[in-house]
Amino acid sequence: MNRRSLITRAAFAALALLTLFSMRRIGLLELDRIRPAGENLGDFVSSLFPPDLDVLGTLIEAMIETVEIAFVGTILGVLLSLPLALLATRTLFEPVISLPARMLISAFRTVPSLLWGVIWVIAYGLGPEAGALGVACYSVGFLGKLYYESFEAVDSEVMEAVRGAGTNRMQLIIYAVLPESTNSLVSHLLFMFEYNIRASTIMGFVGAGGIGFYMLGYIQLLRYESLMTALLLTFVVVTAVDLLSGRIRALLVPSVQQQSNRSPLRASITALNP
């Protein structure tokens, strides 16, 4: 056996041991708890049926609010992240400016969306306003990063050619950076909206509006048939939004790829796993 495969085997063994060790520590290896867990899950699933359609009207209204939270949050997020992302673009600004802007963007990203919801509930009071602001803050963290990466991916020869005409920084942004990255900007916006729809469904858990408020209530009142209706409705809306925005993004992709070798999806995934 050569050295390389020995190292590979040792690495696998170490990984397996680490996994078992962690599972034991968090209690996943306690066999006497596994069987009841299965039974409980079975009970829960059977109590979900049949879905309670009486609550559908209320839930549709709440779902509309959820979509509104995601929509307003995404748009506010875009408006806030665009200037911040421009400041964070190293091909436009010196490190004195771009570095603090990057740090601010990554600080926004560090706080989970639900926690942003809590922060705005504390600041603004209960309701969808807090949800939208929470979603907006969270979006700043992600869109900021996706956007400055798009801006930096603008072909350096385009930047040189436009800058070489004696343009100032604002002109360079308006006539080269933004038009060259329009497709990725829209693509990232749609991606963020898909993500925010999902994030907004649970904003209600912390009192920040939308369908999550009802989901939590049904769980606490053990009204699982009503919960099922909420879950089904969420599933339908999330799938519809994903399909729709996926369609729009697919239309944009070819020209985005023309602009840079990085696919927007890959860029999005990179940004979501910083």
Partner 1 sequence: MAVHVQDGTLRQSGLGSVSRGPAVIEARDIWFSYDNRQPVLRGVNLEVYPGEMTMILGRSGSGKTTLLRVLKGLLRPQRGAVLEHVNGGSHRHGAAIAYVPQTLGLVRSLSALDNALTGSLSRVGARSLVRSFPGSVVEDAKELISRLGLAPKIHEPVHRLSGGERQRIAIARALMQQPALILADEFVSQLDPITAENILQMMRGIAAERNVSLLVTTHETDIVDTYADRVIVMREGVIIHDSPSADIAAGQMLALLR
Given 74, 139, 229, 259, the residue binding partner 1 (CB under 8 A): 259
Six-digit token pair at 56? 């559908």
1 vs 170, which CB is nearer to partner 1? Answer: 170
Binding of partner 1 at residue 167 (CB under 8 A)? yes
The minimum distance between CB 252 and partner 1, in angstroms, equals 11
Bond from prior residue into 274 cis (ω within 30 degrees of 0): no
How far apart CA 138 and CA 81 sit, in angstroms, is: 10
- Does 166 engage in binding with partner 1 (CB under 8 A)? yes
Q: Kindly tell me which residue out of 4, 157, 261, 273 binds partner 1, with binding defined by CB under 8 A.
A: 157
What residues have CB less than 8 Å from 112, skipping those under 6 apart? Answer: 138
137 or 162: CB nearest partner 1: 162
Q: What is the DSSP string of 201-229?
A: HTGGGGTSSSTHHHHHHHHHTT-HHHHHH
- Residue 256 · residue 182 · CB < 8 Å: no
Among 55, 87, 92, 176, binds partner 1 (CB under 8 A): 176
Query: Taking CB under 8 A as the rule, does residue 251 contact partner 1?
Result: no
CA distance 215 to 223: 9
Site for partner 1 in 180-239 (CB under 8 A): 180, 182-183
Residue closer to partner 1 (CB basis): 61 or 155? 155
Member of 175, 207, 219, 232 binding partner 1 (CB under 8 A) = 175
